[in-house]
Amino acid sequence: MAMMPSWQDKTFGGRKLGGKIRAALWLETEVGEGNIFTKAQLRQAFPGDAQIDRRVRDLRDHGWRIDTSRDDPALKQEEQRYVTKGAEVWIPGQAKTAKHKNSLTDAQRRKVWQDDNFLCRTCGVGVGESYGDGGIELSKLNVARREVLMADGSTEFQLVTECKRCGTRAGERQVDLGELLSTVKALAPLERKVLAGWMEADRRALSPLEKLWGVYRTLPADARAVVKQAVTDED
| In the complex, least distance from residue 34 CB atom to Zn ion, rounded to whole angstroms | 27
User: Please, which residue, 23 or 119, has the CB nearer to Zn ion?
Assistant: 119
| In the complex, least distance from residue 130 CB atom to Zn ion, rounded to whole angstroms | 12
| In the complex, least distance from residue 149 CB atom to Zn ion, rounded to whole angstroms | 22
Cβ burial of 134 (10 Å; 0-12, 13-18, 19+) is: exposed
The set of residues, in sequence order, having a beta carbon less than 8 Å from that of 88 and lying 6+ positions away, is: 24, 94
User: Please, which residue, 12 or 131, has the CB nearer to Zn ion?
Assistant: 131
| In the complex, least distance from residue 202 CB atom to Zn ion, rounded to whole angstroms | 15
Residues 98 and 104 sit within 8 Å (Cβ to Cβ): no
> Which residues of this chain interact with Zn ion, rule CB under 5 A?
120, 122-123, 125, 163, 166
| In the complex, least distance from residue 31 CB atom to Zn ion, rounded to whole angstroms | 32
The set of residues, in sequence order, having a beta carbon less than 8 Å from that of 178 and lying 6+ positions away, is: 149, 150, 151, 152, 153
Within the chain, residue ranges assigned H as helices are: 19-26, 39-45, 52-58, 106-115, 164-169, 177-185, 189-201, 208-216, 221-232
User: Please, which residue, 21 or 163, has the CB nearer to Zn ion?
Assistant: 163
User: Please, which residue, 120 or 159, has the CB nearer to Zn ion?
Assistant: 120
User: Please, which residue, 56 or 163, has the CB nearer to Zn ion?
Assistant: 163
